[in-house]
Structure formats: C-alpha cells, structure tokens
Structure 1
C-alpha cells in the first residue's frame, strides 16, 4: 500500500515549483490561516492557537535576545522557499538574516534562516515532524518543534545533507539547550503542561 508520503516526489521540476510558489504567494488565505507548499501540494492550515501563541511569544523573546547580529526574529506570516526540494513553508516562528527581506517577491529565501520553530497541531503534526524536519535538517542551523500534543519541546541542530545530527527533547517545565548560533539555555517553565 502506498501512502501520500511514499508517493511524494523528492523534488519538483523547477517550472512546476515556480508555478505553485506563485499560486501560494498570490493566495488570499483567510485571517488566521496560512498557505504552504508541502509535498508538491498547496496546503492551507490554521495559525497556532492561543495556547501555542503564548508559548511562541515567550520563545520569541528569548530567541531575539540571542539571535545572530543582523537577524530578525518574528512570528509574522512569511513564506520561505526551498527550491531544491520544491517546498515553501510559513514557520510559526523564525530567525532570519534581515537582508532576505530586501529582495523583490512575496517569499524569502530559506537559506537566510538561522532558526525555525513550529508549534504542532493535530492537523500539522505530521508535516512538522516528518516533512519539515527533512527539509530544514539539510539547511537551517536550529529547528525547534514545540509539540503541543505531547507537552514537550525538541531542539534539532547541526544540519547535514542527510538531516540533523543532534537532537534534544525535554518536557515542558525543564530547561532546553538551544544550539549555536544561539547558544543559550531556555527555561520552558512558562509553558503549561496539558496533563
């Protein structure tokens, strides 16, 4: 039996990627929703809910204090493109070189990212843990998964052509080491557990 993930192409031909990216960029997603290009398909999902937003706000404040010079930390609905695998994501939270926002167009280059954080929901959990982990793991120095269903946070770091080489997971309430280029310990005590 073939699942959608098994049948998904590794990458999209460049003309197909560019056409789909233009469509995503031009979409007028309703307030509270984001459109992304995942596994060769345009996926529309909701932005994180109130509980997630509180966690992301705390995380954003701490990451901003440790971000590399010249990097912007935000939770704005920005679409980052990854042409090689033919993907475009709008992360829940990101840190990126501010020069990436000077280019024309409605999406930014994924290579400008120094950190992404995704807050899982029932509808996005698979993409956050599988699809995005694979793509970010080849390029983005730090990937944080705020798993709202399991009440834990994972820091992936040290990207390589085969994915991240380092991983640390802690339950909400325990400290998490956020890897370089941030290099600080994040106290997750402000995240409330669902249990």
Structure 2
C-alpha cells in the first residue's frame, strides 16, 4: 500500500459512520467492522474491569489505541493504564501509556485476537495482553513483548482455565475467573 493509500484509508476510517450495534477498528491498514458483543462477552469484560483497582488504574472499555509505526487503531475490550499515564484529550490512547489490554474472543474475532492483535500489541510494547476465550474457557496472559511489525510477539505466555485465579502481578491482583461465562466450543480455533 502506498502512502497516499494509507492516508485515504486513515481518512475514511476517521470519518466512518458506524451503525449502531457495530464497532469498527483499523487493523494493519484494513477497516474491520464487527457486530456488537453478546452478554457473556460483556459480563466477562465487566468482571475484569471491576477487579482492577480503580484507585491506581484507569479501566476504559472499547477505547481506541494508537500504535506508533503501525497502521492500526484497534479498540480492545478493556484498556488498563496507570492513572495519569495519558491525561490528554482525543479518542486515541498511545500504546506506550498502556499497561494491559484485554480481549474477549468472539466467534468472528478468533484469528484477529490470537494472531493479528497479538503481534500489534507486542509491537506496541504493551506489557500485558490478556486474552480471554469463553469458547475454550481459558485465559492466556502474555508478557515480555519483543519485535516489530507482523513478527512481533510475546516471549512469555501462560494459560489458566476458568475457575483458576489468573495472576496479574503488574496490576497487583489475582483475577477471579470463577464466574466467567462460557460459550459452546468452536470447531476450529488456534
């Protein structure tokens, strides 16, 4: 894609009118529109948000994040940043201000969450990526981001089953997953 094309995509994305009940994200130069999440998804996000201490952390749902060097403006399910890390106006939180990003897998987001967003978040240096999968009933905590572009990744990853506590030392909690809802397994997931 050329610089002119990149600007056009960004301009279209900035001015896109998103129908009610949908969300739009810019993922590596492509505009991706998806239907709103179901109740299981929303309840999981709410549970995580409620457990992150609000006296130290901002917990922003569906907040757009800017990634330097990436043609991406994803809208994670939950953005966690230290209070005061980004007090500026606007719709974009710069990725260097972010401590943890949370995504809850949906039927249409499996590849994006496990592959594309994983490399985008690692390339942006986000210290913790928490991927919650209600189809597998697991939480994957990824830390130690390295690399740039599509080959960026997290060096460390640990999986916990729903019902087991998920240690998040950088946030200062053990996430209680015992009340996370599940969905019927998908036929093919990464």
Specify the alignment match of 2:154 in structure 1.
Answer: 164
With normalisation by structure 2, the TM-score equals 0.82
**For the residues of structure 2 that align with 1:119 and 1:29, how far apart are their CA atoms?**
21
Unaligned runs of 5+ in 1: 1-11
**For the residues of structure 1 that align with 2:59 and 2:88, how far apart are their CA atoms?**
16
Q: Judging changes above 3 Å, is the alpha-carbon distance between structure 1 residues 17 and 78 closer, same or farther for their aligned structure 2 residues? A: farther
With normalisation by structure 1, the TM-score equals 0.80
Tell me if 1:121 matches 2:106.
yes
Specify the alignment match of 1:8 in structure 2.
Answer: none
What's the Cα RMSD here?
A: 2.3
Q: Note if contact 2:105-2:132 (Cα within 8 Å) is conserved in structure 1.
A: yes
Q: Note if contact 1:37-1:87 (Cα within 8 Å) is conserved in structure 2.
A: yes
User: What SS does the corresponding residue of 2:111 show, helix, strand or coil?
Assistant: helix
Specify the alignment match of 2:181 in structure 1.
Answer: 192
Q: How far does residue 148 in structure 1 lie from its aligned partner after superposition?
A: 1.9
Specify the alignment match of 1:4 in structure 2.
Answer: none
User: What SS does the corresponding residue of 1:80 show, helix, strand or coil?
Assistant: strand
Specify the alignment match of 2:86 in structure 1.
Answer: 100
Unaligned runs of 5+ in 2: 185-190
User: What SS does the corresponding residue of 1:111 show, helix, strand or coil?
Assistant: helix
Kindly provide the CA deviation profile for residues 118-163 of structure 1, in whole angstroms up to 9, marking residues without a partner as x: 1111111110000000111231111111112211111111212242
Specify the alignment match of 1:153 in structure 2.
Answer: 139
- The one of 21, 25, 30 equivalent to 1:36 is 25
Tell me if 1:144 matches 2:130.
yes
Q: Judging changes above 3 Å, is the alpha-carbon distance between structure 1 residues 113 and 47 closer, same or farther for their aligned structure 2 residues? A: farther
Higher helix share: 1
- Range moving further from structure 2, 24-33 or 86-95: 24-33
Aligned residue pairs total: 178
Tell me if 1:90 matches 2:75.
yes
Q: How far does residue 55 in structure 1 lie from its aligned partner after superposition?
A: 0.9
Q: How far does residue 37 in structure 1 lie from its aligned partner after superposition?
A: 1.0
Q: How far does residue 101 in structure 1 lie from its aligned partner after superposition?
A: 5.1
Q: How far does residue 110 in structure 1 lie from its aligned partner after superposition?
A: 2.3
Tell me if 1:61 matches 2:61.
no
Q: Judging changes above 3 Å, is the alpha-carbon distance between structure 1 residues 107 and 23 closer, same or farther for their aligned structure 2 residues? A: farther
